[in-house]
Structure 1
Amino acid sequence: MCGICCIFYNNKGFSNDSNELIIEQGRLSNRGPDSSNTVHTCVSNNVSALFSGHVLHLRGKQIVEQPTRDEAGNLLLWNGEIFGGIQVPEEISDTTVLMNKLGECNSDAQILNTLSRISGPWSVIYWQECKHTLWFGRDVFGRRSLLWHLPTQNNSMFALSSVQLNKEDVYTEVPSIGIWKMTPSTADDGCYGFTLFPWQHIVWPGTLVRVKDNPNFQEKVSQGQSVDSDLVHFIIEGETEVSSQMPSLNKALPPRDYSLPDYTTEVTPIQYLQHLLEGSELLQTLSRQLADVLLKAVSTRVFNQHHRPTEKKYAGKSDSASYIPNVPQQSASNYPECNSEPHGRNMTSCAKVAILFSGGIDSTVIAALVDKCLPSEESIDLINVAFEQKPKQPAQPKKGKPTPVSDSDRWSVPDRLTGYTALSELNPSRAWNFIEVNVTEEELKEARQAHIQGLVYPLQTVLDDSIGCAVWFAARGKGVHGVGPHKGNPVHSTARVILCGMGADEQLVGYSRHRNKFKEGGWAGLIEEIELEVTRISARNLGRDDRIITDHGKESRFPFLDERVVTFLSSLPIHHKADLALPRGIGEKLLLRLCATELGLHQTATLAKRAIQFGSRIAKLENNREKASDICNRLTSLHT
């Protein structure tokens, strides 16, 4: 994971010093705390470029400084992980491998083929010196952030960056619709020509309209910015479609005689799921196949982490033992210390992997699978967020003091309760560090103003604000031990890899709006809605989450969006993944619930979907009457 940016500017209007100041004041360095570097290059007598990289070292023995430069003068800024498609030796950085591959390319087709082969999350900026051409883009799911600022007038700059560099300039997200090529003009006019090589069969996010079929391509792609068409030219390379990691969706309708057994109140939800597994060899097979492909995705994302020398830290051995029923209470001597600090002082978890853990089915299945991947002696951080609740005080007599609000009431939000329930179902022999992240109203306001507003940008809805705030505090990882002999003591998760459950609802029919679509349009309407969900995921969620999480020098990883998982789920007909004729807590994400049942997560398997803004109670702490799609004035105040 890295913070990357480049700036192209006319020599008459800018100086190196002013551009470096812009970068220094930005948020790039937070993303890459291990190495920072800036390189200047002369494009022509009139145009210069600045490339800046800030590295979070996760793979390979040695830190590879960015931008990395080869003997031919090519420059690479890489913010991603190569999990497949190109072989990366375990002890070598994928930045080095990709630079070597791109340096061998002599044609546009070879560059496109190299980038399109990559499985894993990425955004890339590559300067091809011999052709004075800039290549850039994001993976088809948009799992890594990349913003652009397009020139608005003669001599104004063109910028690409992981985050907004300064609030005076308008930035929008680079659309994840293909791989881009930019050729800067060498003349005084300062023109920039952009060519899109679209992903195969790609559509505009949130629509089913193919990118190639849009007659107003220039207007569509520059939406949100005031672009001078005399300075910026966009074209689509009509003859070339780049191989995409986005599979086609199976649109088969259920057979006319298709139906699952009726659900009745005579059995519990978990009994119903168990009966389905026992009575259907097909569902049992698909459930196990999903578990297998998810296990591979999780395994890929937790292995091969560079071992960092760490400060002496607290290991948190079996932090859950005092909570889980039927597990013998361990004494403090069973909790090995990584430091010599006395009991009661701030501690730091030694875990290398953390999970955003609401106790919902997505995060709990991930936790159960991580447990199968990591050595038994390693601890795992489960980070659970709650926003302060201020219950109304009951009427008090005129005399006497008001009854204080108990601390447990302040943080007893739904996600905290389900988090502990899910914890009780996980492997009791594992050292689970259940970290309660408790956020007061004052902390929320301060962090939003100082950090979160600028990271959520350019998104600006109430939903973006709520999710952005919850994820930012979770990724920071500062809280208290929830259970164990150190319960209540401050703790800080410094795990650099954070696993998240994003992508499950979009593919497995998890949102409440899917039920409404099913009622209106039946199976055909639901299939169309799921197809839309997957196409718009790059524009709605993941760039924002990447900017938020990586602000703490940590990396987000999404097992449900592993290319193998997406391919498997897309290959299945919709009725093998969900059945919304069944009640909530069973019908949506049915296949995942069957998978959770076989993993022994019986209580978690039947929990209904609850969005993080409601589960953490940030929505209640803020304005209850706001709609998720409303523009959030708490965000826009920074950019007006």
Structure 2
Amino acid sequence: MCGICCVFSSVDGSDQHTHEQSRLAHRGPDRSHQCSLNLACGLKATFIGHVLHLRGNCLATQPAEDAYGNLLLWNGEIFDGIEVPDGESDTDVLLAKLGCCKNEDEILATMAQVHGPWSFIYWQKDNQSLWFGRDMFGRRSLLWHLPSDWKDEFYLSSVKLDNKVHTEVPAIGIFKLTPPASQTGCYSITVFPWRLAVWPGTLEPVQQDFSNRLSAGQSLSEGYVQVTLSSNEVPSHRPTINRTFPPDGLSRPPALPGQSHLEYLQDPKEAGSDDENVLQTSEQYRKLSDQLLSVLLMAVKTRVHNHVPLKRQTVINDSSVDSTVEQNSNGCNSLDMPDTCMKSEARIAILFSGGIDSTVIAALADRCVPIREPIDLLNVAFEQIPKEQDKRRKRCEHASESNRWSVPDRLTGYTALSELNPDRPWNFIEVNVTGEELKITREAHIKELVYPLVTVLDDSIGCAVWFATRGCGTLGNGPHQGARIVSTARVVLCGMGADEQLAGYSRHRNVYQAGGLEALNEELELELSRISARNLGRDDRVITDHGKESRFPFLDEKVVQYLAGLPTHQKACLDLSRGLGEKFLLRLCAVQLQLMSTSTLAKRAIQFGSRIAKLENSKEKATDVCDRL
């Protein structure tokens, strides 16, 4: 991934933004570059790129420029849809294709072909137009600041750069900006919406209340910024879900008294019915789980093979960039572990709670990575502080070291590790975070990455993911167990997206119990529409801050298409109990992968599994505005 930024400012304005790039530069530790263009209207356009080199034999420069003077800032991966030959940079391939586009339709068609996570900024010289946007799932961050007058800058950036108000560019389509022709003119922004585009977090089409929603959180000056919604829709990869009801009489039988969840998963026929439909269902589920494993395996394979094994190197700075980032060889930023830490030597890491989503990804990654190559399992825990009554009972003695970090995700993490391939050199990295370290680091750094999101949930998840993916901790297994270690992996596989598609949240069960399958279908349709608004931009900002890239196999376009095409009753069976009925199809996949204990684990969110939520005000609600941010 990369840190990308574009600023439109008056020619005689300040260049302060060029000196406040530490958060932006963390995202791209391998090369930094910027260039500026003076526009006829008296504005200056500044393009800034910080490159994390993952693809191509040669280290590319961003912004990339073609022979026609077009500029591209690309924060993404092309996994499919557009061919990227081995050894070539997808930035160069995309720039070449965009440079050949003769009109708006061809630009839109080119971006619609891309499979993979992305945000981009493209300056089209001939038309003096700026194109930008995020993929339909919002897997990459892009913030903007809309100007209120001539002296105010227009910003596009992966992260917040200064104290101006920023909001996330909504993942509703492709944007085209035309700068003002004179100081009395205005910025013109046209949005070409994705097919089936709705406002993030809703099922309401983008045509409703367009101007107000587009600028939500910012004051939009009608005299200075004009927005238009085009009737020209862009083809999207977001499917509609299959709302087919099960045939009459076809249902899964209840588990027998005393029968474990694992026994039920391994042999549904043993549930005590000889009905022919049950046998047919069993055979069908085997076929479906085979198919899901196949598309997931391909998604994981693409994400672990599609980058170069490049060791961390000193930042290559263009002379025009004032970079304030301190880098060193272990891959952490200026909030580093000591240099005495051993390095994992892994290329791939997994955000690993021991839950079914991350463990299935780990088992599939094991099939894709050479067997002697290590894989890092990043497991985060927050310090457990005894309650006052416990302190009195223990006479204020400190809890043992093991008890301090025995959070649920640590325990399930080790259980899951025991079920993974024993011939693989797994590095189980215990990332232990004290309350004091959390407080200091959040205030000094993390809250600026979580911004512009502000809820208690954003705080908890943002902090937990930041510490986990930094990968600095203690090795929990192997011959060097107990050693301080830092993950060298530049690619982090994450399990986000499974719950939204496979009815994994408790609210899905509540919806189903209240309104049946029809209501559940409606909720799952809503889940797909709001993925971009809920967390992925935030997760991109906190993970890539370490000079690492997040990749989400469950949000691969082909995986999403496959799961959306299945009727809901084939993916989840919410008449069955918790730890069995939700994500039912994925549980069968886990059994096939011999992840027996993992296959029946109930959903546990990272803020509870890591116990970060217990360090804060227990009376807070997830949706409350967090005063720590």
In which range does the TM-score fall when normalised by the shorter chain? over 0.9
Q: Is the 8 A contact 1:496 1:555 kept in 2?
A: yes
Map of 1:171 onto structure 2: 166
1:245 to 237, 252, 260: 237
Q: Offset at 1:388?
A: 0.1
Measure, in 1, the Cα distance between the counterparts of 2:503 and 2:536. 18
- Post-superposition Cα deviations, 1:89-133, rounded to whole Å, max 9, x if no partner, equal 110000010010011111101100101100000000000000000
Q: Offset at 1:418?
A: 0.2
Map of 2:362 onto structure 1: 367
Measure, in 1, the Cα distance between the counterparts of 2:254 and 2:180. 67
Is 2:307 the partner of 1:305?
yes
Aligned length: 594
2:611 to 606, 617, 621: 617
* Structure 1 residues 3 and 396: alpha-carbon distance in aligned structure 2, compared to 1, 3 A threshold: closer
Q: Offset at 1:155?
A: 2.5
Q: Offset at 1:152?
A: 1.7
Q: Offset at 1:401?
A: 7.0
Letter in 1 for 2:213: K
- Post-superposition Cα deviations, 1:263-288, rounded to whole Å, max 9, x if no partner, equal 12331111100113894111100001
Map of 1:539 onto structure 2: 533
Measure, in 1, the Cα distance between the counterparts of 2:341 and 2:185. 55
1:281 to 274, 280, 283: 283
- Runs of 4 or more, structure 1, over 6 Å off, are 393-398
Q: Offset at 1:447?
A: 0.9
Measure, in 2, the Cα distance between the counterparts of 1:596 and 1:92. 36
For the residue of structure 1 that corresponds to 2:440, the secondary structure is helix
Q: Offset at 1:10?
A: 2.1
- Post-superposition Cα deviations, 1:38-82, rounded to whole Å, max 9, x if no partner, equal 100122141110000000000011011000111111000000000
Map of 2:544 onto structure 1: 550
Q: Offset at 1:440?
A: 0.3
Aligned runs of 1:385-464 on 2, under 5 Å?
385-392=380-387, 402-464=396-458
Map of 2:70 onto structure 1: 74
For the residue of structure 2 that corresponds to 1:633, the secondary structure is coil
Is 2:204 the partner of 1:209?
yes
- Post-superposition Cα deviations, 1:468-497, rounded to whole Å, max 9, x if no partner, equal 000000110000011222221100002000
Measure, in 2, the Cα distance between the counterparts of 1:595 and 1:190. 58
Letter in 1 for 2:558: R
Measure, in 1, the Cα distance between the counterparts of 2:117 and 2:347. 20
Identity of aligned residues (%): 59
For the residue of structure 2 that corresponds to 1:78, the secondary structure is strand
Aligned runs of 1:37-52 on 2, under 5 Å?
37-52=33-48
Q: Offset at 1:397?
A: 9.3
Measure, in 1, the Cα distance between the counterparts of 2:613 and 2:406. 15
Aligned runs of 1:317-336 on 2, under 5 Å?
none
Map of 1:328 onto structure 2: none
TM-score by length of 1: 0.91
For the residue of structure 2 that corresponds to 1:556, the secondary structure is strand
Q: Is the 8 A contact 2:201 2:534 kept in 1?
A: no
Q: Is the 8 A contact 1:47 1:186 kept in 2?
A: no
Q: Offset at 1:389?
A: 0.3
Map of 1:228 onto structure 2: 221
Letter in 2 for 1:458: P
Measure, in 2, the Cα distance between the counterparts of 1:254 and 1:231. 54
Map of 2:322 onto structure 1: none
Measure, in 1, the Cα distance between the counterparts of 2:390 and 2:57. 64
Measure, in 2, the Cα distance between the counterparts of 1:395 and 1:622. 18
Stretch deviating more after TM superposition (596-605 or 249-258): 249-258
Measure, in 1, the Cα distance between the counterparts of 2:423 and 2:171. 42
Measure, in 2, the Cα distance between the counterparts of 1:96 and 1:396. 61
2:92 to 96, 107, 110: 96
Is 2:502 the partner of 1:508?
yes
Map of 2:330 onto structure 1: none
* Structure 1 residues 350 and 396: alpha-carbon distance in aligned structure 2, compared to 1, 3 A threshold: closer
For the residue of structure 1 that corresponds to 2:32, the secondary structure is strand
Stretch deviating more after TM superposition (577-586 or 265-274): 265-274
Map of 1:188 onto structure 2: 183
Measure, in 2, the Cα distance between the counterparts of 1:208 and 1:393. 46
Map of 2:6 onto structure 1: 6
Is 2:29 the partner of 1:33?
yes
Map of 2:316 onto structure 1: none
- Post-superposition Cα deviations, 1:129-155, rounded to whole Å, max 9, x if no partner, equal 000000000000000000000012233
Q: Is the 8 A contact 1:277 1:284 kept in 2?
A: no
Aligned runs of 1:531-610 on 2, under 5 Å?
531-610=525-604
Point out where structure 2 has 5 or more consecutive residues left out of the alignment.
271-278, 314-338
TM-score by length of 2: 0.92
Letter in 2 for 1:77: L
Q: Is the 8 A contact 1:354 1:380 kept in 2?
A: yes
Map of 1:21 onto structure 2: 19
* Structure 1 residues 605 and 188: alpha-carbon distance in aligned structure 2, compared to 1, 3 A threshold: same
Map of 1:499 onto structure 2: 493
Measure, in 2, the Cα distance between the counterparts of 1:249 and 1:593. 20
Q: Is the 8 A contact 2:41 2:180 kept in 1?
A: no
RMSD: 1.7
Q: Offset at 1:598?
A: 0.7
Stretch deviating more after TM superposition (271-280 or 496-505): 271-280
Is 2:359 the partner of 1:357?
no
Q: Is the 8 A contact 1:277 1:283 kept in 2?
A: no
Q: Offset at 1:515?
A: 0.9
Measure, in 2, the Cα distance between the counterparts of 1:550 and 1:465. 17
Q: Is the 8 A contact 1:393 1:403 kept in 2?
A: no
Letter in 1 for 2:58: Q
Q: Is the 8 A contact 2:304 2:348 kept in 1?
A: yes
Letter in 1 for 2:141: S
Q: Is the 8 A contact 1:277 1:594 kept in 2?
A: no
Q: Is the 8 A contact 1:297 1:562 kept in 2?
A: yes
Is 2:246 the partner of 1:254?
yes
Q: Is the 8 A contact 2:41 2:183 kept in 1?
A: no
* Structure 1 residues 186 and 633: alpha-carbon distance in aligned structure 2, compared to 1, 3 A threshold: same
Letter in 2 for 1:289: Q
Letter in 2 for 1:557: R
Letter in 2 for 1:10: S
- Post-superposition Cα deviations, 1:552-584, rounded to whole Å, max 9, x if no partner, equal 000000000000000000000000000111000
Measure, in 2, the Cα distance between the counterparts of 1:260 and 1:379. 41
- Post-superposition Cα deviations, 1:366-398, rounded to whole Å, max 9, x if no partner, equal 000000001111000001000000123767899
- Post-superposition Cα deviations, 1:386-427, rounded to whole Å, max 9, x if no partner, equal 0000123767899x9753310011000000000000000000
Letter in 2 for 1:5: C
For the residue of structure 2 that corresponds to 1:443, the secondary structure is helix
* Structure 1 residues 396 and 555: alpha-carbon distance in aligned structure 2, compared to 1, 3 A threshold: closer
For the residue of structure 1 that corresponds to 2:7, the secondary structure is strand
Stretch deviating more after TM superposition (37-46 or 544-553): 37-46
For the residue of structure 2 that corresponds to 1:220, the secondary structure is helix
For the residue of structure 2 that corresponds to 1:100, the secondary structure is helix
Map of 1:327 onto structure 2: none
